[in-house]
């Protein structure tokens, strides 16, 4: 079973060996090609957000990735920086890794305390699925914008 997760971030590794090992693993697993990330459809993601491999920085561009979330703990081990993820694939959760430590969020609760009042409560999924889907996307986008200052 696959899990699709929206992920973005910029993390710095302590040395080239660790970074190159992570890039090799990501490449061998199909999430990177020529030091660029691959999305859930197999397309290279926004080439303007290339990582600075020589500068020890791995930049994961904002995109939807298939099963990459299962490997985030390993990817961020020993890093500094920030990585943000959200998932609405069978759940509605998000997380922020800051300097290798994760803070986990239930996104419906996060929305109720962090979005404007008129946007903070989900439409009833059974009565208005289309508006509920739009609301989920809006919450995920707001969550990413809130925690990724370098993107602004």
C-alpha 44: how far from chain center = 16
Give Rg (Cα) of the chain: 16
Over 60: is that where the pLDDT of 79 sits? yes
Tokens for 87, please give them: 């998932």
Over 50: is that where the pLDDT of 124 sits? yes
Q: Classify 75 as helix, strand or coil.
A: helix
Asked if 82 and 96 count as a contact pair (C-beta separation under 8 A), the reply is yes
User: For residue 152, what pLDDT is reported?
Assistant: 43
CA distances from 33 to 24, 30, 85, 119, 132 (A): 10, 7, 21, 38, 35
Which of 117, 122, 115 is CA-nearest to residue 145?
115
**pTM, two decimal places:** 0.89
* Beta-sheet strands, E only, within the chain: 4-12, 32-33, 36-37, 57-66, 80-87, 93-98, 101-106
Over 50: is that where the pLDDT of 37 sits? yes
**Stretch among 42-46, 108-112, 132-136 having the lowest mean pLDDT:** 42-46
Q: For 42-60, write each residue's pLDDT tens digit.
A: 999 876 556 676 689 999 9
Over 70: is that where the pLDDT of 102 sits? yes
């Amino acid at each position: 079973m696959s899990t699709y997760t929206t992920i973005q971030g910029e993390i710095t590794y302590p040395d080239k060996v660790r970074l190159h090992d992570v890039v090799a693993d990501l490449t061998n697993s199909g999430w990177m090609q020529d030091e660029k990330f691959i999305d859930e459809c197999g397309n290279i993601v926004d080439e303007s957000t290339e990582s600075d491999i020589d500068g020890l920085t791995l930049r994961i561009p904002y995109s939807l990735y298939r099963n990459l979330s299962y490997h985030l703990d390993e990817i961020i081990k020993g890093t500094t920086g920030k990585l943000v993820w959200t998932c609405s694939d069978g759940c509605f959760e998000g997380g922020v890794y800051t300097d290798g430590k994760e803070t986990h969020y239930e996104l419906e609760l996060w929305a109720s305390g962090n979005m404007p009042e008129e946007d903070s409560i989900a439409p009833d999924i059974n009565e208005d699925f289309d508006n509920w889907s739009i609301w989920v996307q809006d919450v995920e986008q707001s969550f990413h914008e809130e925690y990724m200052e370098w993107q602004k």
